[in-house]
Structure 1
Amino acid sequence: MPIEVRAATVFDDVKQVLGPKRADANVCWCLSYRVPSKENRTLLGQDRGKRVQELCGEDPPPGVLAYDGDEVVGWAAVHPRAGTSFARNRKIPHVDDADVWSVWCIRVKPGHRGKGISHHLLAGAVDFARANGAPGIEGYPVDNQGQKVDLTMAYVGTRALFERAGFTKAADTDSILNGFPRVLMRRDLRSIRR
């Protein structure tokens, strides 16, 4: 069955990918770049999940989910850059004033990795941004030059993943993750190409 990517409107499905094993655990829930840092620091335990549940009810929802049949197998956070901390990030430059969207987290559930789902998620994030009127979309992956990236830090993606999805390098950044420099990758969505 082909992988299908849909808007993340079903909180229970988002929870399967991002939620903790223990309800009171302080996991990211992909909020670190999505909500203001002050709010992010005050959200603890179950309040983090409740905030994500609120975001799932907003228009647009906080990202996209990949499904293999009825099973949710992955997540990608995608939102207008203006509504993320990337709008104010000192280490990630703005290459222009376009109202681009950002994709900053790609996560595939254990047991489903190595099957190309991250490619589906990134393509779905692009389609989601385009469908919501974004003139462009950017990501901030590591430029690991083929070297192994620690699994806990792989959520930002790699330059090669973004290049295969039609993104091109728009700028260097001052951000380093897992010892690798991050680059700003951009894809224009005003054209019809997929």
Structure 2
Amino acid sequence: MIRHLRRAVLISIVFFAVCGLAYPWAVTGISQAFLPYQANGSLTAHGSAPVGQPWKGPLWFQGRPDPYTPDATGPSVADLGPRSKVLLHDVKARIAQLRAEGITPTSDLVTYSFYGSSANITPHSAYVQVDAVARARHLSPATLRRLVASHVTPAQFGFLGSPYVNVLKLNEALARLR
């Protein structure tokens, strides 16, 4: 019995060393060496690039709405089904808000992403905001159209996925326009 206990303890120590120490250190080292920006959270001055940030228009380009309640006491919009009256009310309120700001609502700007807070919108959703942002910031719409065009990320390899605009990176470039 002692012999079996020794083997079990030895195997546990070996697996702890390999799976608990060597493997995580190796993966961390490789990711830091080859993909340091992504390994460190893709952080910029205003947040993480893959995570949506709450931008208030029309001074800034707006992304998809945040599906989570601000106080976390009520249900998350992400938990609501397509026939939910709360969800319908939220979408209608968002449409009215965008129209009041002079922005033509698109599905990206009024609906929530599947997995939560997404930082990406379609190029069309960015272009429909150009005139409102230009008026609010006293900039030329042509300048903002060029800015949006320079931030359009094409489909990966030309055919995987759809083109998109990262709102955080676009707004950081907008802040540097002055």
TM > 0.5 fold call: no
For this structure pair, what is the TM-score category when the shorter chain's length is used for normalisation? 0.3 to 0.5
Report which structure shows greater RCO (CA 8 Å, sep ≥6): 2
Work out which of the two has the higher radius of gyration on C-alpha atoms and give 1 or 2.
2
Name whichever structure is richer in strand by fraction.
1
**TM-score normalised by L of structure 1:** 0.30
**TM-score normalised by L of structure 2:** 0.32
